[in-house]
């Protein structure tokens, strides 16, 4: 099967359009990747609405601050997104707040291409490093980031939906 070439763009024009585009992708990604991290009830019954609420709040914050969302489309359909910003922990560099690729497009190099776009954005904003947080139990993501040249910087506990504690790693990548 020949794969369609991805197209990349900044997110749609309105905050509501952005939220409605990326929330379902975010939820689908979590349902697939976080089965061993988040409670099943949350993933099966709450994640879609919670992610839409989250992005309806978060997108205006990004629009009014220093942040960007990039979308990857394949065959005209949204396939993944990256959210990057100069966050509160500026000493760590630009924060990759979210990188999600729909499960059916994993392995198609979309994540790496979105990270490249984010790195370009970060350089334009005077940043020399990227950082993100990844769940310790998300082995596939950790392998992906290691292949992309990211380094583990610190391990920390985090509380997930349902109040359970999981460990996360701060990963960094010099630009």
* pLDDT at position 10: 54
Instruction: In whole angstroms, give the CA distance from residue 22 to residue 41.
Output: 21
Q: Which of 106, 124, 118 is nearest to 150 (CA)?
A: 118
What is the tens place of the pLDDT at every residue in 5-64? 555 555 557 899 999 999 999 999 999 999 999 999 999 999 999 999 999 999 999 888
pLDDT band at 66 (very low <50, low <70, confident <90, very high): confident
* pLDDT at position 8: 58
- Could you state, in order of their start, the residue ranges of all structural domains in the chain? 7-174
Show the beta-strand stretches assigned E in the chain: 7-10, 67-74, 77-85, 94-101, 129-135, 151-159, 165-174
What is the tens place of the pLDDT at every residue in 73-125? 998 899 999 999 997 899 999 999 999 999 899 889 999 999 999 999 999 99
pLDDT band at 3 (very low <50, low <70, confident <90, very high): very low
> Would the pTM count as exceeding 0.95?
no
What values do phi and psi take at 62, rounded to 5?
-65, -45
* pLDDT at position 1: 29
Show the beta-strand stretches assigned E in 75-140: 77-85, 94-101, 129-135
Helix then strand then coil, in percent of the chain rounded to 5, is: 45, 30, 25
Residue 136: is its pLDDT beyond 50? yes
CA-to-CA dists, residue 81 to 41, 100, 169, angstroms: 25, 6, 21
For residue 88, count other CB atoms closer than 10 A to its CB: 8
* pLDDT at position 2: 33
* pLDDT at position 65: 84
Mean pLDDT score across all residues of the chain: 92
Q: Give the right CATH number for 7-174 from 3.10.20.30, 3.40.50.510, 3.40.630.30, 3.40.109.10.
A: 3.40.630.30
């Amino acid at each position: 099967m020949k794969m369609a070439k991805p197209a990349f763009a900044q997110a749609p024009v309105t905050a509501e359009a952005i939220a409605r585009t990326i929330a379902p992708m975010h939820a689908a990604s979590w349902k697939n990747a976080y089965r061993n991290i988040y409670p099943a009830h949350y993933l099966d019954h709450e994640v879609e609405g919670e992610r839409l609420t989250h992005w309806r709040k978060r997108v205006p914050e990004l629009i009014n601050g220093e942040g960007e969302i990039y979308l990857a489309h394949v065959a005209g359909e949204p396939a993944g997104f990256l959210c990057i910003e100069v966050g509160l922990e500026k000493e760590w560099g630009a924060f990759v707040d979210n990188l999600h690729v729909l499960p059916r497009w994993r392995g198609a190099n979309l994540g790496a291409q979105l990270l490249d776009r984010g790195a370009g954005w970060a350089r334009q904003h005077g940043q020399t490093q990227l950082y993100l947080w990844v769940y310790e139990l998300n082995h596939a993501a950790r392998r992906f980031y290691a292949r992309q040249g990211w380094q583990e910087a610190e391990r920390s506990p985090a509380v997930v939906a349902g109040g359970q504690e999981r460990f996360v790693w701060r990963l960094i990548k010099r630009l």
